[in-house]
Amino acid sequence: MRRGDMSTRERILDAAEKILRTRGVALATTKEIAQASKVSEPTLYKYFDDKERLLLAVLKERLPGPSRISVRPGVGDVEDNLAELAHAALDFYQQSIPMLGALLADPKRMAAHRVAMNRHGGGPDKAAAIFANYLQAEQAIDRIRPDADPNAVASLLVGACFHAAFLRYYAEGPTATAAPRATAEALTRSVVRPLLPLSASHGQ
């Protein structure tokens, strides 16, 4: 991609991030994002097929998240690795809630959004899959107990992260400070520690 193209794409993402944070995906339009980017709407569509594709780019490239964290099975401490993923998930949910929250009140828009996100390979199930895949890999090398259910554990941990992020946003609003890593560590410890072999558990 030419340098000028990259500059235009980054400008569109900058405007989209700001508008999506303040108006949410349900109310934001590609027209106002294009205007804020100082490009035409057809130019915006050259880079992003639709609003959902643009939203995905903002979520993946401008927000923290577990997909941007690199943890390797067999390397480091399982609990620490999961806390790293959980901390990223906390940040991601806290920043994405205002972008996506209004969709819940509009079933028709939610249905259209779901279809578009599925088409683009996105969706809220992706975060849990990252945790589950990591846990499955650790289980295969005996660093997670064989009777553990990686998918259930992932759902519990991701759900706890979402709940904690929502409460923080609810209490403090869009200017809420990011959750400290200690929150992620406490959530991870509560959910995961019983699943670790005794020889790997902290304090054993």
User: pLDDT by residue (tens digit) across 11-42?
Assistant: 999 999 999 888 888 888 999 999 999 999 99
DSSP strands (E only) in the chain: none
Q: Which residue has the tokens 């590609």?
A: 30
User: Token pair for residue 114?
Assistant: 């779901």
Q: Is 4 exposed, middle or buried (0-12, 13-18, 19+ CB in 10 A)?
A: exposed
Q: Where are the domains of the chain?
A: 1-62, 65-204
For the chain, what's the residue count?
204
Mean pLDDT of 147-166: 94
Question: Over the stretch 96-147, which tens digit does the pLDDT of each residue have?
Answer: 888 887 777 788 888 887 888 788 787 888 889 999 999 999 999 999 999 9
Q: What is the pTM of this model?
A: 0.81
Question: Which element (helix H / strand E) includes 155?
Answer: helix 150-172
Structure tokens of 34?
């294009």
- Phi, psi torsion values for 25, nearest 5 degrees: -70, -25
10 Å CB burial of residue 198 (0-12, 13-18, 19+) is: exposed
Q: Topology of 65-204 in CATH?
A: Tetracycline Repressor; domain 2 (1.10.357)
What is the rounded distance in angstroms from the CA atom of residue 198 to the CA atom of residue 191?
15
Write down the CATH number for the domain with range 1-62: 1.10.10.60
Tokens found for residue 204: 């054993």
